[in-house]
Amino acid sequence: RFQDTKEKLVEETIEDENLIVDEEEKGSPISVQDSESQVKKLEEKVKQLEAEIADYVDTLKRVQAQFENYKKRIKKEFDTFTQISTHKLVKQLLPVLDNLERALSSAESTDDKGKIIEGVKLIYHQFKEALEKEGLKTIDPAGDRFDPYFHEAIMQVESDEHEDNTVVEVFQKGYLINDHLLRPAIVKVSSYPIR
């Protein structure tokens, strides 16, 4: 808007000057009073436009300040949200930590490996459940068709038992969090034998 106002002022000034020149060329006399009157009008117009420009600049500065405050507020809200999310996850994992401590204490005082294994399995399921509540999904593709978006093949084996590009072994499970890939599954893939 500032640029438009400036261009408008320049155009009006040129038009006014052209009027004066045209009148001079026509031979019509221009009195000093008429000239002074036109100069005063132009000066008033310039003052008016300068006031508009100052108003636009002031508005622009206020909008910039509001935007900076908005950015700061959004960052603060995001940081708070992140802290709350982290707090929530850690709170869900505290029982797992407690049970691990109990299992370690129990392992030192007992020779019954069956109870230790049973306790570790319970802790594993508790830990997995806490992560699943946060949106974690396991990628365990044994027997599935190889998908390069979710699997990373580190070995290939010739096989008559499996179709070509079938996952025959999973070395490390992959994970999705809220349907976004967190880690691909590390797999061995079949291929038809070369004859």
> pTM for this one?
0.57
Question: 146 pLDDT exceeds 90?
Answer: yes
CB 9 within 8 A of CB 52: no
pLDDT in tens, 11-62: 766 665 555 544 545 555 566 677 888 888 888 999 999 999 999 999 999 9
| Model pLDDT for residues 73-91, shown as the tens digit of each residue | 999 999 999 888 888 888 8
Amino acid residing at 5: T
The Cα–Cα gap between 71 and 40 comes to 46
d(CA 8, CA 14): 10
Average pLDDT along the chain = 84
Tokens matching residue 170 = 């999973």
In sequence order, the β-bridge partners of residue 30 are: none
Residues 6+ apart with CB under 8 A from 132: none
The angle at the Cα of 152, spanning 151 to 153, to the nearest 5 degrees, equals: 115
**What domains can be seen in the chain, in order of their start residue?**
1-134 (no CATH), 136-195 (2.30.22.10)
Percent of the chain past pLDDT 90, that is, above it, reads: 43
